[in-house]
Amino acid sequence: MIICFYKRQIEVFVEQNWFQCDMAFKRLKDKKQKEVVFAIMNKQNNKSSCRGLKYSQCVTNILVAFTLLRVIVNQESVEMYYRMFTRVFSLIEERLQVVIHWQHLHGDGFAAMVMDMDTKQLPGECVTNMFLKRC
């Protein structure tokens, strides 16, 4: 398991209300390896094709994916996801000296994690225990 991020990316990560977690199958050349991406959708201004137009006529808000961190894995299993989530959140806490909280458990912190409909990603009891620091 390889976890990749810049400090500024995880600083942005912990400021979010929600984030998305997706597995990409086609980005890596080796078919045995997969990339798990933690990301958010961020609004940005599109200033292209503005020639001859007023600024207010050519600026539109568009959504852009912003990658918070990437994890390279060589398997896809409940255990892998458990180890990945545990390690990712431990690393963030260690590097930023913060405690990860979830609104439904602690009253503050992340409200949601959006993910694929993959039964391996969220086996209820184990993930809940991980967030409560009991695993």
pLDDT for res 124: 47
Report which of 63, 65, 17, 64 is spatially closest to residue 38, judged by C-alpha positions: 65
Give the pLDDT score at 5. Answer: 93
DSSP string, 5-36: --HHHHHHHHT-SEEEEEEESSSSSSTT-EEE
Q: pLDDT, tens digit, for every residue of 77-113? A: 888 888 888 899 999 999 999 998 888 888 888 888 8
DSSP 51: T
Indicate the length of the chain as a whole number.
Answer: 135
Distance between CA atoms of residues 111 and 50, nearest Å: 38
pLDDT at 30: 66
Q: How far is CA 75 from CA 23, 55, 81, 90, in A?
A: 11, 49, 9, 21
How do residues 107-116 score in pLDDT, each as one tens digit? 888 888 887 7
Which regions of the chain are under pLDDT 70? 25-30, 43-64, 117-135
